Chains A and B, each alone.
Chain A
Amino acid sequence: MSEAISTAALSAVRRPTNLWLDAWRRLRRNKLAIAGMVLIGLLVLMAIFAEQLAPYDPYQQWLALRKAPPSREHLLGMDEVGRDVLSRVIFGSRVSLQVGVLSVLGAIAAGTLIGALAGYFGGWFDQLVMRLMDIMLAFPSLLLALTIVTVLGPGLLNMLYAIAIVSVPTYARLVRASVLSVKEEDYVLAARAVGCSPARILFVDILPNCLTPIIVQGTLGIGTAVLDAAALGFLGLGAQPPTPEWGTMLGRAQQVFFSAPHIGIFPGLAILLSVLGFNLLGDGLRDALDPRLKD
Chain B
Amino acid sequence: MIRYIIRRLLLLIPVLLGISIITFALMRLIPGDPARIMAGERATEEQVQRVREAWGLNKPITEQYLIYLGKVVRGDLGRSLKRNEDVITEIRWALPTTLELAFSAMFVACLFGIPAGILAAYRRNSWWDLTVMTASLVGISMPVFWLGLLLIYLFALRLGWLPPSGRLSIGIEFQPITGMYMLDALLRGNMTVFVDAVKHMILPAFTVGTIPMAVIARMTRSSLLEVLRQDYVRTARAKGLSEQLVLTRHALKNAFLPIITVIGLQLGSLMVGAILTETIYSLPGIGRLIIDRILSRDYPVVQGAVLFFASTFVIINLLVDISYAYLDPRIRYQ
A binds B: yes
Among candidates A32, A134, A231, residue contacting B143 with C-beta atoms closer than 8 Å: A231
A139 in the interface (beta carbon within 8 A): yes
Tell me whether A268 and B15 are in contact (CB under 8 A): no
Instruction: Report if A265-B150 is in contact (Cβ < 8 Å); known contacts: A141-B272, A143-B309.
Output: yes
CA distance A136 to B282 in the complex (A): 29
A203 to nearest B CB, angstroms?
Answer: 30
Q: Please, which residues of chain B bring their CB within 8 A of the CB of A257?
A: 149, 152-153
Whether A275 lies near B291 (C-beta < 8 A) is no
Using Cβ atoms and an 8 Å threshold, which residues of chain A touch B290? 143, 146
Judged by a CB distance under 8 angstroms, whether B26 is at the interface is yes
Q: Residues of B at under 8 Å CB distance from A?
A: 14-15, 18-19, 21-23, 26, 29-30, 137-138, 140-146, 149-150, 152-153, 157, 222, 225-226, 267-269, 271-272, 275-276, 279-280, 290-291, 294-295, 299, 302, 306, 309-310, 313-314, 317
Q: Is B26 within 8 A of A147, CB to CB?
A: yes
Q: Are A258 and B302 neighbours in the complex by a CB distance under 8 Å?
A: no
A110: shortest Cβ distance to chain B, in Å? 17
Contact of B145 among A237, A250, A295 (CB under 8 A): A250
Q: Is B153 a contact of A143 with CB atoms below 8 Å?
A: no
Flag A21-35 by CB within 8 Å of B: 1 or 0 each.
Answer: 000000000001000
Report the bound CA distance from A142 to B310 in whole Å.
11
- In the complex where A139-B19, A143-B271, A150-B294 touch, is A235 in contact with B276 (Cβ < 8 A)? yes
**B313: which A residues are within 8 A, CB to CB?**
138-140, 143
| A62-79 interface with B by 8 A CB criterion | none
Q: Are A258 and B18 in contact (CB under 8 A)?
A: no
- Most chain B beta carbons < 10 A, residue from A135, A141, A236: A135
B125 to chain A: closest CB distance in Å? 13
Asked whether, in the complex, the Cβ of A258 is within 8 Å of the Cβ of B157, the reply is: yes
A-B contact pairs, 30 of them (CB 8 A): A135-B14, A135-B19, A135-B22, A138-B313, A138-B317, A139-B19, A140-B267, A140-B271, A140-B309, A143-B271, A143-B272, A143-B290, A146-B275, A146-B290, A146-B306, A147-B23, A147-B306, A150-B30, A151-B26, A227-B141, A230-B143, A231-B144, A231-B276, A235-B291, A236-B295, A264-B146, A272-B138, A276-B137, A276-B141, A279-B137
Partner of B149 from A139, A250, A279 at Cβ < 8 Å: A250
Q: B291–A258 contact, CB under 8 A?
A: no
Task: Enumerate chain A residues within 8 angstroms of B275, measured Cβ to Cβ.
Answer: 142-143, 146, 235
Is B137 touching A32 in the complex (CB atoms < 8 A)? yes
Residue contact B143 to A275, C-beta cutoff 8 Å: yes
- Report if A223 contacts B (CB, 8 A): yes
User: A89 to nearest B CB, angstroms?
Assistant: 13
Contacts of B295 in A (CB 8 A): 236-237
Determine chain A's interface SS by DSSP, over half rule.
helix
Partner of A272 from the list B143, B157, B269 (CB cut-off 8 Å) is: B143
A254 CA / B153 CA spacing, docked (Å):
11
Answer yes or no: A45 CB below 8 A from chain B CBs: no
Residue of A nearest to B274 (CB): A140
Residues in chain B near residue A268, CB distance under 8 A? 143, 145-146, 149-150
A254 touches B310 (CB 8 A): no
B288 to chain A, nearest CB (A): 10
Chain A neighbourhood of B299, CB < 8 A: 150
CB of A261 within 8 A of CB of B141, answer no
Q: Which residues of A contact B310 (CB under 8 A)?
A: 138-140, 143
Q: Are A234 and B141 in contact (CB under 8 A)?
A: no
Verify if A159 is at the interface (C-beta below 8 Å from B): no
What's the Cα separation between A247 and B144 when bound, in Å? 11
**B143 contacts A271, CB within 8 Å?**
yes
Q: Once the chains are docked, how many angstroms separate the CA of A26 from the CA of B185?
A: 56
Whether B306 pairs with A276 at a CB distance below 8 angstroms is: no
Q: Indicate if the CB atoms of A234 and B145 lie closer than 8 Å.
A: yes
Give Cα A275–Cα B214 distance, bound, in whole angstroms. 15
Q: Decide if A131 is an interface residue (CB 8 Å cutoff).
A: yes
Pairwise interchain contact B26-A227, C-beta atoms closer than 8 A: no
Cα distance, A155 to B18, chains bound together (Å):
27
Which B residues are in CB contact (< 8 Å) with A146? 275, 290-291, 294, 306
Query: Least Cβ distance of B16 to chain A in Å?
Result: 9
Q: A131-B14, A272-B141 are in contact. Are A150 and B146 (CB under 8 A)?
A: no
Report B-chain residues with C-beta under 8 Å of the C-beta of A269: 146
Neighbouring A residues of B19 by C-beta, 8 Å = 135, 138-139
* Residues A272 and B22 in contact, CB atoms below 8 Å apart: no
Q: How far does the Cβ of B253 sit from chain A's closest Cβ, in whole Å?
A: 20
Interface status of A280 (Cβ within 8 A of chain B)? yes
Residues of A within 8 A of B143 (CB): 227, 230-231, 234, 247, 250, 268, 271-272, 275
B207 to chain A, nearest CB (A): 13
Residues of B within 8 A of A151 (CB): 26, 29-30
Q: Which residues of B contact A149 (CB under 8 A)?
A: 294
- Mark contacts of A240-284 with chain B using CB atoms, 8 A cut-off: 1 yes-contact digit, 0 otherwise: 000000010011001001100100110111011001100110000
Contacts of A258 in B (CB 8 A): 152-153, 157
Convert A209-236 into 0s and 1s, putting 1 for each residue whose CB lies closer than 8 angstroms to a CB of B.
Answer: 0000000000000010001001100111
A237 closest partner in B (C-beta): B294
Establish whether residues B294 and A131, one from each chain, have CB atoms under 8 Å apart when the complex forms.
Answer: no
Residues A135 and B26 in contact, CB atoms below 8 Å apart: no
Pair A275/B141 contact, Cβ less than 8 Å: yes
Does A132 make an interface contact (CB < 8 A)?
A: yes
Residues of A within 8 A of B294 (CB): 146, 149-150, 237
Q: How far is the CB of B91 from chain A (nearest CB, A)?
A: 14
